[in-house]
Structure formats: C-alpha cells, structure tokens
Amino acid sequence: MQKRLKILLFALGVVVFAAVAVKGLFAVTGPSEFCVSCHTMKSQYRNWSHSAHRNWAGCSDCHVPQESVAAKLVAKTRDGISHVYAYTIGGVPDPIRLKPRSRKTVMNNCIRCHGQLVEKISMDGRKCWDCHRGTPHGY
C-alpha cells in the first residue's frame, strides 16, 4: 500500500508539473510580442497592431489551433522547432507563406470568430483571405 501511494503521489506531481509547464509555455509564447521578438514579420506585426484585430485577436488566436490544449501544444512545439531551424540553419523564405496545415488552422480560426457572418454567405470553395487578403496584416 505504501509503495502504491508513493507512485500515485509521484504521478500526481508529474501531472501538476506538466500542467504548470504548459501554462507557463502558453503565457510566454502566447502574446504577439513574442512572435515578433525573433520573427522577420515586423511589417505584418506593425500592420496588425494598427488594425481592428489587435483588440480581439493576436498571432496565436489566428495561427494556432484553438480546439484543444493538446492541439495547441503540438502546433506550438512543431512550429517552434520549425522556426528555430529556419532561423539557425535553413534560412527564412521571403516572402513567408503559410503551409497547408497552417492555412487550415487560420481558416478554422476565421470561422471560429466570424461564424455568424460566414453562415450568411456562400463561400463557393473560397477561403476567407481570397477576399480579405489584407486582414489583418495589410498585404
């Protein structure tokens, strides 16, 4: 019984530590200022900071999956590794373009916030940015 209690307490400690670590990761990497701190998208950040979206949606709100903590953690980890690689070894493409999985995430997040508007129009296979290319980055 004593051994079981120790294992249970250890497992509980690991879970609590992981939860605190994930919460800390999101707190540090969530703000848009984090994205621009080492990112080559300063002009996009500047345009976003003067847009209506700045009051409601930051980089992570649009570019990171919002459906679950697990999906958010996987995306932030994958993208973080990809960005570190690009900046240190692989070179940053110019211009930076969304990868297909990122396009899907951005589209889902547009609909997540603007669902009431989207249900009133016919998308006809178009993506939000087909009409709203400059939102919120201004290009």
pTM of the model: 0.76
How many domains does the chain contain in total? Answer: 1
Phi, psi of 66 (to 5 degrees): -115, 0
CATH assignment of the domain containing 82: 1.10.3820.10
DSSP for residue 96: -
Q: Which residue from 110, 129, 132 is spatially nearest to 57, judged by alpha carbons?
A: 110
Instruction: Domain of residue 63: give its range.
Output: 59-131
Distance in angstroms (rounded) separating the CA atoms of residues 116 and 65: 19
Is there a domain that residue 51 lies in? no
Give the dihedral sign, CA 38/41/47/53: negative
Q: What is the pLDDT of residues 19-68, one digit of tens each?
A: 888 888 778 888 888 888 876 778 888 888 888 898 889 999 999 999 99
Q: Which amino acid is at 126?
A: R
